[in-house]
A and B are shown apart, each in its own frame.
Chain A
Amino acid sequence: MTEPVLGSARPTRVFSDTDLLTALRAGDSSAFERLVTEYGPRLRATALRLTRNEADANDVVQETFLAAFRSLRRFKGNSQLGTWLHRIAINAALMRIRGRERRPELDIHDLLPRFGDAGQHLEAQLSFRELPEESAAREEATGLVRGAIDRLPENYRNALLLHDIEGLEYPEVARQLGLTLNAARIRIHRARQALRKLLEPHFGGRKA
């Protein structure tokens, strides 16, 4: 399993989940404020990565907390509070993205590797250089990678972000995207392949 990179809204805290939950269920107003201030920034970062829009991200954060407040009694504590909120935020962000008008997209098949009749690569494959160390060049390069991620077809971008960036396990990606487990795995793999293709002109170095 890929290590979660940025997922799970889990800030440094002095209160345990149990203490916070008890206070929330008792209707303690300061506990609600604590929940919002402690978990909100990470949830906003997740929402911003998915929606790419500050206003939408703020709406997602608000929807997340309101949904969480309504469901507090049903939260069984099987996962950490941060993980639970993170899932709600992802669901809210995906709903928002689905409600948008679709933009013209690249065809995923144009971004996948091509093979000959004998199953061989049709094009010589290139290794990738590392990101530059120097600050400005690195900033430019990471911006370029983000631009390439944004060019992925939406369904593939979402799958990549959920698994490789937000750290969701395959079953949770499948659930959030309404896919079978196998379809989710394939979609993530193709998203990486497509992203690799988009990055090749910029980072491709030594020829095989």
Chain B
Amino acid sequence: MNCNGFKKHLHDYCTGDLPLDLRGALERHGERCAGCGELMRTAQELTCKELTEFLNDYIDEVLSPERKAVFERHIAICPDCQAYLQSYRRTMEMAALSMKRAVAGLPDNLPPDLIRAILAARSQ
């Protein structure tokens, strides 16, 4: 296996979907090639589950610089986590926009009856 093949199959290797023969070839290439070996270590330093569990900390930017770097190395090589992060962020944006539009048509003033009821209740 060469570097291109390694990069092509790394995702399936991480998800456990790579057939056994290719798995062996990929591991052997990772041992021989310094660059691909580094990619493999990156893929193994954090699982998708761990990343997903702490995704809000990443978004809130409360991770330590070291932890953040681990997250970003994983995201850079994991298409599933790239897609998850993108869709998680978009979910937040769409929720905010949709709820804003939900009340966009409301009048700028309270109904007069409601104002009167509030002020009357205060006087009692």
Contact = CB atoms under 8 A, between A and B. Distances in A.
Interface in A130-169: 130-131, 139, 141-143, 145-146, 149, 160-161, 164-165
Given A125-B83, A128-B86, A41 B98 contact: no
A166 to B, nearest CB: 9
A contact patch SS: helix
Contacts of B114: 40, 58, 61-62
B36 to A, nearest CB: 19
Given A69-B122, A128-B87, A189-B56, A61 B110 contact: yes
Contacts, number: 166
Given A6-B100, A120-B15, A37 B109 contact: yes
Nearest to A189: B56
Contact of B94 (A61, A119, A199): A199
A192 B99 contact: no
Contacts of A40: 109-110, 114-115, 118
Interface string B51-84: 0100110001000000000000000000111111
Contact of A33 (B16, B55, B106, B115): B115
B55 A189 contact: yes
Interface bin, chain B:
35 or more
Given A36-B118, A125-B81, A48 B103 contact: yes
Interface of B: 14-16, 47-50, 52, 55-56, 60, 79-84, 86-88, 90-92, 94-103, 106-111, 114-115, 117-119, 121-122
Closest 5 pairs (CB-CB, A-B)? A119-B47, A145-B98, A208-B79, A119-B49, A142-B98
Given A41-B109, A48-B102, 12 more contacts: A2-B60, A41-B107, A49-B99, A49-B103, A115-B48, A115-B49, A116-B15, A120-B16, A127-B87, A142-B102, A146-B102, A199-B91
Interface of A: 1-2, 5-6, 29, 32-33, 36-37, 40-41, 44-45, 48-49, 58, 61-62, 65-66, 69, 113, 115-121, 124-128, 130-131, 139, 141-143, 145-146, 149, 160-161, 164-165, 185, 188-189, 192-193, 195-196, 199-200, 203-204, 206-208
